[in-house]
Amino acid sequence: MLGILWWFGRDKLAPTLRPWHRESVRLQPLVRMAAIGAPVAFQQWLEVAVFAAGAVAIGWISVTALAAHEIAINLAALTFMVPLGLSAAAAAMVGRAVGRGDLAAARRDAVAAIGVGVLFMAAAGALFLFSPEPLAALFVSDPAAREITVSLIMIAGVFQVFDGIQCVSAGVLRGAADTRVPMLLHLGGFWGIGAPLSLWLAFGAGLGPQGIWWGYVGSLGAVAVAQLLRVRWRLGSRILTNTRRRKRGRSPRRNQRRSGAGGGTIRSACCPRRPSPEAAPSTPTAG
């Protein structure tokens, strides 16, 4: 991929490239990128791992249930590609708007990305809910496996909108350089709520493979709501204030303190400014 980028973009990149210099390799930008990127990697691992753990648990039930799970999860992964792409686009657009301090544009981009994701996933969810039999027939002919597959596809239709919201919202937050809290939300939603709920519904309540998938619904719903609330808070006035402060290098209050300490423009009431000799009233002299 790097070779393709260089081959097709070398003419545009050439003016910006310069010979290697020791100052070109600095640890501070790398550390900052790692601080932002490492939570993203762990966040994605948490999501993938909980679905993989669900497959392991369904394998304990039966081979037929595992086959049905693989069919349904492949269909859900197919529709998930759209919000995943929207998430990457939202991260780029929101990041650019935040970088130039344009809060209104950041909000518009976030709403547009989440809205498109919700619309697409709602359509996909409707397809899964109302046409599961034809979809299952494309993959399996065994009656027992098809019955389980149909039920899992319908459950997948329930969490489609939740899945789209949490995925695109995560991209919006990445654009705002907010990655640690979303990672914690994934940890709590998928492993604090989803995994225990799936195991209890599957084996404690006796729902079998459908119980695992209803646990997916609970975890995705919890993460989606939490991510939306985080987006609403993060794209408030606070983000624009922080961006402006980073550009100025210090807060207005700090500037005011420095001005008061150095120039004497801010004094307490107990220490009033003494009048200068020029401003003192002249006293008449005796003629």
Quick check: 25 and 169 in contact, CB under 8 A?
no
Kindly tell me the burial class for residue 33, based on how many C-beta atoms sit within 10 Å of its own C-beta (0-12, 13-18, 19 or more).
exposed
**144, 150, 155, 160: CA torsion to nearest 10:** 140
Quick check: 75 and 154 in contact, CB under 8 A?
no
CA distance 197 to 167: 21
Say yes or no to pLDDT of 186 above 70. yes
State which of 16-25, 175-184, 232-241, 258-267 shows the largest mean pLDDT: 175-184
Say yes or no to pLDDT of 61 above 50. yes
Q: Which two tokens stand for residue 191?
A: 């492993």
| DSSP structure string for 176-224 | TT--HHHHHHHIIIIIIIIHHHHHIIIIIS--THHHHHHHHHHHHHHHH
What DSSP state is assigned to residue 14? G
Closest alpha carbon to 54 in 37, 76, 35: 76
**31, 32, 33, 34: CA torsion to nearest 10:** 50
What DSSP state is assigned to residue 62? -
Band of pLDDT at residue 264, cut at 50, 70 and 90: very low
What pLDDT sits at residue 268? 35
pLDDT in tens, 139-171: 999 999 999 999 999 999 999 999 999 999 999
Instruction: Please state the rounded mean pLDDT for residues 60-84.
Output: 97
Q: Enter the pTM of the model.
A: 0.77
Cβ-based neighbour number of residue 32 at 10 Å: 11
Say yes or no to pLDDT of 249 above 60. no
Quick check: 274 and 218 in contact, CB under 8 A?
no
Say yes or no to pLDDT of 97 above 80. yes
What pLDDT sits at residue 8? 80
